[in-house]
Amino acid sequence: QVQLQQSGPGLVKPSQTLSLTCAISGDSVSSNNVTWIWIRQSPSRGLEWLGRTYYRSDWYYDYGVSVKSRIALNPDTSKNQISLQLNSVSPEDTAVYYCARVVTETGKPYYIDVWGKGTTVTVSS
């Protein structure tokens, strides 16, 4: 059974960097038939896709337009986890952050089948 264990601070100051980690059990971060994504949820923005990373003989990354200039996803094969870094945060980045797994078939993304429990992050001084 695949599980995603999230960790990271719940409070970040404005202009600083938000850092979260998603530890994977029951699957490999470099599995060839999945992608790993981060999503956030807030009352004002709803469910918002932030980015994805996946391994297909090399690592690939894609980021959402709203955060593209501030985000980085970093897979760590030694620890079987993925970290999220979001720079220069503002109160608008206050949200519940989720990591999740996307099943792919024939090279195409298919569905999101496993979610972490979520981390509530508040941006405030």
Partner 1 sequence: EIVLTQSPVTLSLSPGERATLSCRASQSISNWFLSWFQQKPGQPPRLLIYGASTRATGIPDRFSGSGSGTDFTLTISRLEPEDIAVYYCQQYRTSPLEVTFGGGTKVEI
Closest by CA position to 63, among listed 77, 75, 53, 76: 53
CB 62 within 8 A of CB 108: no
Shortest Cβ distance from residue 62 to partner 1 (Å)?
Answer: 5
Which one among 1, 43, 58, 111 touches partner 1, defined by CB under 8 A? 111
What SS3 class is residue 86?
strand
Q: Does 56 bind partner 1 (CB under 8 A)?
A: no
**By C-beta, is 16 or 66 nearer to partner 1?**
66
Q: Which stretch binds partner 1 (CB under 8 A): 8-16, 26-34, 81-89, 111-119?
A: 111-119
Torsion of CA 42, 82, 52, 24, to 10 degrees: -90
Question: If you count DSSP H runs as helices and E runs as strands, how many of each does the chain have, helices first?
Answer: 0, 11
Q: Does 49 bind partner 1 (CB under 8 A)?
A: yes
Q: What residues make contact with partner 1 under the rule CB under 8 A?
A: 37, 46-49, 62, 64, 98, 100, 102, 108-113, 115-118
